[in-house]
Chain A
């Protein structure tokens, strides 16, 4: 798994690629917990390059959502890949997230 953090005006985007599982999700957690404090209005996680995600990945995203709520900023998932949509749906947590097709759409949120 690889993560990249990109700072834009008002928002911070964490781009994730590869498998997110019990082994790799702590690294995603670190990236998200670094990104949320930097984001002025919106924290976003780009999940288009994720090839696999298990419930530890979902729990990490929920943590990001909670942190963003606490800070009073938005938290969006960008272009989740099919494996991500599948685990969100099977976890019954797909509806709690704001899902956007791309960064531009997210910026206009």
Chain B
């Protein structure tokens, strides 16, 4: 697939705001509805935050690459870093089904959120170093949360969408 945009991002939390602006502009340019754009921005931000914090320990001397592209059916976001590989059990889809307050740990919430937002997600931690994350959103996909209200659980299709796990 053609990568229409490819950026190198410093592993500095301060870079995240600019990355969100770029992802928002890209998703909007493909005509996705506003609520869905918000979710995609949030989930790509989580993947970048994990690269910054966990792959590189927020060391701004390091950097990762974010590429964005589109096919007839999907918007695709790919992240590549050369830092510490994520533990495979932490990025497995099965680890993120039912979070609760006891298992909130750094990075854990973000991975679950990425799985819930994207139609297809593949985490590929390297054997000795580096990580690759591919996230695909159908161009006709709907928001996962509908219009959330205070004290009301999420409606819509959250948690039921098709996924691919790391082995696929």
Residues of A that sit less than 8 Å from B by CB: 19, 21-23, 52, 54-56, 58-59, 62, 65-66, 80, 82-83, 85-96, 99, 101
Contact = CB atoms under 8 A, between A and B. Distances in A.
A86 B38 contact: yes
Contact of A22 (B52, B101, B117): B52
B158 A89 contact: yes
B38 A96 contact: no
Given A54-B49, A62-B104, A91 B112 contact: yes
B152 to A, nearest CB: 8
A101 B150 CA distance: 8
Query: A interface, by DSSP: helix, strand, loop or mixed?
Result: helix
Interface in B109-166: 109-110, 112-113, 116-117, 144-145, 148-154, 158
Q: How large is the interface on B (under 10, 10 to 19, 20 to 34, 35 or more residues)?
A: 35 or more
Query: B interface, by DSSP: helix, strand, loop or mixed?
Result: helix
Contacts of B150: 80, 85, 99, 101
Given A21-B13, A23-B17, A55-B109, A86 B45 contact: no
Contacts of A93: 99-101, 104, 109
